[in-house]
Amino acid sequence: MAIEAPDIRTALPGKIARQVIAKDRRYTSSSYIKEYPFVIARGKGAVVEDVDGNRFLDFMAGIAVNATGHSHPRVVRAVKRQAERFFHMCASDFYYESFARLAERLTRMTPMEGEKSVFFTNSGAEAVETAIKLVRYHTKRPYIIAFLGSFHGRTMGALSLTASKAKQRSFFSSFLPGVHHIPYGYCYRCPYNLTYPKCGVHCAEALETVVCRNLMNPREIGAIFIEPVQGEGGYIVPPREFHAKLKAFAEKNGILYVVDEVQAGMGRTGKFLSVEHFGVEPDVVIMAKGLASGLPLGAVVAKKKYMTWKAGTHGSTFGGNPLACEASLETLALLEEGLTANAARMGKRLIGRIRKMAKEFPLIGDIRGLGLMIGVELVRDRETREPAVKEAHDVVQAAFERGLLILSCGESTVRFCPPLVVNAREVDTAAEIFGAVLRDITGRKG
């Protein structure tokens, strides 16, 4: 497959894509969103081809998953080798070498002092469930703090922490008791209408000065569950002190600091974990998405002193499947050999290109991000900051028509989360298409 992209040869969706979509619509759950009519046939690196032979630049990576790009030859080889040997043996009850080796590697790569232990799952939500249970089991405390705007998954425990879009929770109550949501460090839309840094990062202090004065005893809080950089909520990078203050409060009160790195981790932000940008030490790390380059795998890494649960208290039939473990070992090697550094470099290039566009397009309200986790928040008016919801949707659709796959997040943010293998040419092409799309949407001449 040639890797030049974009190359759009048919009306979208093409003839074969339309057939697949018709069958999908007829037989699959109505809850699926389906952002645009893209029907993948194959992919290589950051380029994907649809079933009608159209080629696209993939700057969303199946929602921030394909860390090593599509079908990286080393990951493919590792998975094929494992498939020849065995597919499954349930590591909850038995042993295989890659399971232990991957656990060892993850304990080495996670930024906590001392000994650590790992539990493997099949997805992000399942890893969040695991962490919730672990915190309850270990601390015996009833409360959990989570954040408005956060996304932690769709299973009932994870959903109890999720507070991103009301529609994701509607008619699914009751949720886990004892979960309390507080505002995130979202400076562009400060929940307290303050301005950073004059605000003194009040949003972080409010946990102590408001929540723990009026609502709960901090000694009854088991954990703070936090995305170090908020993902689905809008690719929001909080101020450094936000984490520092929350972590200090947690430490003072014996509260575990649980970081959900499902979207921001695995090299995406230019460091293995996004929490490393903030200089705080987590107690528990939750991972999934990019961890195995697209094979289903999640992991919870905790300080050993907290992973105290007894044999049989938690387990999984498929978690840490051997194919996924092999894919993950190869993924982690590739991250360390250069992909994480590439994410930092390419992220800088992409955000630089987008920042230059801001002058031309008043629609751009805020540009933020770390590495290849970049959000561009669109507004109708820079003064009022009215979210440009329809425009964000239109940008994503128009980019698809021009052969660039991107997604939105938050209310009106366009996100860029390509595979970490993207090169400078692909970044520049994506930026050019984004500019052309903004021109289309705003009716400006190129």
Report the interface residues with ligand PLP, using CB under 6 A: 63, 123-125, 128, 151-153, 227, 231-232, 260, 262-263, 288
Is the CB of residue 300 less than 8 Å from the CB of residue 76?
no
Judged by beta carbon, residue 262 or residue 300, the one nearer ligand PLP is 262
Radius of gyration of the chain (CA): 22
Shortest Å, Cβ 153 to ligand PLP:
3
Shortest Å, Cβ 232 to ligand PLP:
5
Q: Which among 143, 333, 178 is positioned nearest to 254, based on CA atoms?
A: 143
CA dihedral 62, 66, 70, 76 (to 10 degrees): -130
**DSSP class of residue 252?**
H
Judged by beta carbon, residue 61 or residue 250, the one nearer ligand PLP is 61
> Reduced to 3 DSSP states, what percent helix, strand and coil does the chain have, rounded to the nearest 5?
40, 20, 40
Enter the tokens of residue 31: 């809850």
Shortest Å, Cβ 260 to ligand PLP:
5
How far is the C-alpha of 12 from the C-alpha of 309, rounded, in Å?
A: 52
Judged by beta carbon, residue 262 or residue 357, the one nearer ligand PLP is 262
Shortest Å, Cβ 227 to ligand PLP:
5
| Burial of residue 399 (number of CB atoms within 10 Å: 0-12, 13-18, 19+) | buried
Judged by beta carbon, residue 228 or residue 365, the one nearer ligand PLP is 228
Shortest Å, Cβ 444 to ligand PLP:
33
DSSP string across 315-336:
--SSTT-HHHHHHHHHHHHHII
Shortest Å, Cβ 294 to ligand PLP:
12
Shortest Å, Cβ 417 to ligand PLP:
10
Task: Report CA-CA distances (Å) from 222 to 145, 258, 311.
Answer: 8, 10, 22
Using Cβ positions, the residue closest to ligand PLP within the complex turns out to be 124
- The dihedral built from the CA positions of residue 425, 430, 433 and 438, taken in this order, carries a sign that is negative
Judged by beta carbon, residue 162 or residue 429, the one nearer ligand PLP is 162
Shortest Å, Cβ 21 to ligand PLP:
22
Residues in the chain, total: 446
Is the CB of residue 238 less than 8 Å from the CB of residue 184?
yes
Q: What separation, in Å, do the N-terminal and C-terminal C-alpha atoms of the chain show?
A: 32
Q: Which among 406, 414, 444 is positioned nearest to 63, based on CA atoms?
A: 406
Shortest Å, Cβ 302 to ligand PLP:
16
The residue to which tokens 């929490």 are assigned:
275
Judged by beta carbon, residue 14 or residue 290, the one nearer ligand PLP is 290
Beta bridge partners of 382: none
Judged by beta carbon, residue 288 or residue 300, the one nearer ligand PLP is 288
Judged by beta carbon, residue 132 or residue 288, the one nearer ligand PLP is 288
Judged by beta carbon, residue 414 or residue 433, the one nearer ligand PLP is 414
